[in-house]
Amino acid sequence: MSFLQKIEQSSVWQRFLSFRWWQKLLTLFAAVLFFTLVMDFLVMPWYTRLGAEYELPDVTEKSMAEAMNILEDNGFIPIIQDSVYDSDRPTGIIVRQNPPSFSTVKKGRRVYLVKSNGEKPIYMPDLTTLTRQNAEFKLRELGLQVGRIAERFSRAHPYKGTVISQSELPGELVSQRTEVHLTLSLGPPPSQRVLPNLVGKTLNNVREELAALGIDVNNIRTQYQPRLVPNTVVSQSIPGGTSLKDVNSIDLVVSSDTEPDYQN
């Protein structure tokens, strides 16, 4: 006798068939409700191991070895998923984890980690022959700082304002925010040995230029010039174009943004 035949001949089934239609409907509703409650409170909790979930520890900002030990000791499976450059964290420090810290997860869950490779190395570019503007743009683009700017005459670099040399050699590994000093060309040395016009140039550049010509700066006087950048040459005691054979030293007046304190 089949299972269905046994059900059809059972007293429970026969009694169910004798019910009125509304009794049958009510009985079916009760059976469905009973089945749902059993599944929700008995079967599913057992199947999904409800109550066996734990808070995932926070392992970010810890070393890779320490993070993996913590996760393994708590019953989780750490996996190094990726690594990224991070200038704020040393090499091997955990940057991110997935699932996130303090998530509620089951034991045996895989936890994916991203570790730091430290600061991204920068290879110093070759700036020679670039204009000052292009050289400064390239440095800032790489996260480097523009340092002191000097100028001198150069036959090898006849184009005025181009980079002759740099403080960090091309191809060297440098860290971010390294200050790079540049030397710019003043063009080839003057064929006619005459004193150049210095007005409008910065004092540091003028010192470099005069030193290259063998001229000493004898005296420097400041003058209040609020519209000029401080230490810009306002005037020179010997005019530009004077033959260098007649010039041993020179006096300069440079701008200042400090207003003089006049006393009555």
Higher pLDDT, 2 or 157: 157
Q: Kindly give, in sequence order, each residue whose CB lies less than 8 Å from that of residue 155, ignoring residues fewer than 6 positions away.
A: 188, 189
% of the chain beyond a pLDDT of 70: 85
Output the average pLDDT for the chain: 85
End-to-end CA distance of the chain: 129
pLDDT recorded at residue 264: 47
- Please identify, in words, the CATH class of the domain defined by 121-189: alpha beta
Q: Where are the beta strands (DSSP E) in the chain?
A: 53-55, 77-84, 94-98, 104-106, 110-116, 122-123, 145-152, 163-166, 173-174, 179-185, 216-224, 233-236, 249-256
CATH code linked to domain 53-116: 3.30.10.20
Higher pLDDT, 98 or 4: 98
- Helix, coil or strand: residue 106: strand
Tell me the per-residue pLDDT of 109-134, one tens digit each, with 9 for 90 and over.
999 999 999 888 899 999 999 999 99
Look at the chain and count its residues. 264
pLDDT recorded at residue 98: 95
- What CA–CA distances, in Å, run from 156 to 34, 165, 213, 259? 96, 11, 17, 43
Paired residues of 42 in beta bridges: none
Give the global pTM: 0.48
Query: Which of 49-63, 72-86, 202-216 shows the lowest mean pLDDT across its residues?
Result: 49-63
Tell me the per-residue pLDDT of 145-157, one tens digit each, with 9 for 90 and over.
999 998 888 888 8
Tell me the per-residue pLDDT of 212-239, one tens digit each, with 9 for 90 and over.
788 899 899 999 998 899 999 999 999 9
CB-CB contact of 195 with 215 (8 Å)? yes
Residue 110, token pair as written in the block: 């895989």
Residue 29: count of CB within 10 angstroms of its CB: 10
pLDDT band at 59 (very low <50, low <70, confident <90, very high): very high
pLDDT at 24 over 90: no
